[in-house]
Amino acid sequence: MPSIASKFAVLAAGLFLAGCMQTTHYEASSDSLLKPRDKELLSKVTYAKAPVAEPFRRAIVDYHRKEAPGSIMVDSDNHYLYYVLDNGKAIRYGITVGEEAMAWSGIAKVGALREWPDWHPTKSEIERLGVPTFVKGGPDNPMGSRAIYLYSGGKDTLFRIHGTNQPEYIGASISSGCIRMTNEDVIDLYSRVKMGAIVVVLEPKQGDSPFNSKMALQGGNTLYQ
């Protein structure tokens, strides 16, 4: 039989999660941002349209950091990307991030924006993954429906925020370093972000999310039913 202390710990964790959930409003997916080409290409995808776990679905949340509205903050530890709004709020998206050895962190700016971008794998990706040197943009392209290119010091960092043909990995660390979002979420983000916007990618082990996705996935399932 659980001890009184352990029961209290479980209750406290539940209250913590419930408190976070009270500050969260989940946004329903909308087709209003989809252009005719988006609808055409998304209807042709051959990958499985796996549902995203609820803690990683698009949400409006309280935001406690000091980045200016219009900025992007990436918390790789918790697999979240935040688009900062006014009045202490942000839109939070679930993401796939790079494996620890290939993760990138730092401060960059949005240097380019592309719809249904072509993929030009890096030399290391070609050698490691055995992929071709060029993949034209389209429904099953690993770059997905949109790409936001990160620049630092006026130069392309080769890291991007982009869509994915593997939505089942949202919330995981398996990419080659880029930040992946569902195709629908990256279309939403793309419609908001401006050229030159600041992008802050926190260093590993520096996760600063007010809501811990790992805790939610491990012990908070009843909150999402």
* CATH code, domain with 128: 2.40.440.10
Q: Say yes or no to pLDDT of 216 above 60.
A: no
- Output the CA angle 116-122-124, nearest 5 degrees: 140
- Please report whether residue 10 resides in a domain: no
CA atoms lying within 13 Å on the CB side of residue 102 = 17
| Assigned token pair, 27 | 């946004």
What stretch of H or E contains 107? Answer: strand 106-115
What stretch of H or E contains 22? Answer: helix 4-22
pLDDT at 100: 64
- Please report whether residue 111 resides in a domain: yes
pLDDT class for 79, splitting at 50, 70, 90?
A: very high
- What's the pTM? 0.81
- Please report whether residue 15 resides in a domain: no
Q: Say yes or no to pLDDT of 89 above 90.
A: yes
* Measured distance CA(106)–CA(80) in Å, rounded: 16
Q: Determine contact, residues 62/92, Cβ cutoff 8 Å.
A: no
* C-alpha R_g of the chain: 18
pLDDT at 53: 92
In this structure, of 134-143, 154-163, 187-196, 215-224, the range with the lowest mean pLDDT score is 215-224
- Please report whether residue 43 resides in a domain: yes
At 129, is the secondary structure helix, strand, or coil?
helix
Q: Say yes or no to pLDDT of 94 above 90.
A: yes
Catalytic positions:
162, 178
**Nearest C-alpha neighbor of 183 from the set 55, 61, 58:** 58
| Assigned token pair, 208 | 């600063």
pLDDT at 211: 53
Mean pLDDT value of segment 162-183: 91
The total of structural domains in the chain comes to: 1
At 20, is the secondary structure helix, strand, or coil?
helix
- Please report whether residue 19 resides in a domain: no
pLDDT class for 26, splitting at 50, 70, 90?
A: confident
- Please report whether residue 118 resides in a domain: yes
| Assigned token pair, 99 | 């494996």
| Assigned token pair, 91 | 């839109």
Tell whether the torsion through CA atoms of 47, 50, 56 and 60 is positive or negative: positive
Mean pLDDT value of segment 52-73: 94
- Please report whether residue 137 resides in a domain: yes
- Cβ within 8 Å of residue 16, ≥6 positions away: 215
* Measured distance CA(16)–CA(156) in Å, rounded: 40
Domain of residue 95 covers 24-209
For residue 188, give the DSSP letter. H
pLDDT at 34: 95
| Higher-confidence position of 223 and 143 | 143
**Nearest C-alpha neighbor of 207 from the set 108, 103, 111, 110:** 103
- Please report whether residue 140 resides in a domain: yes
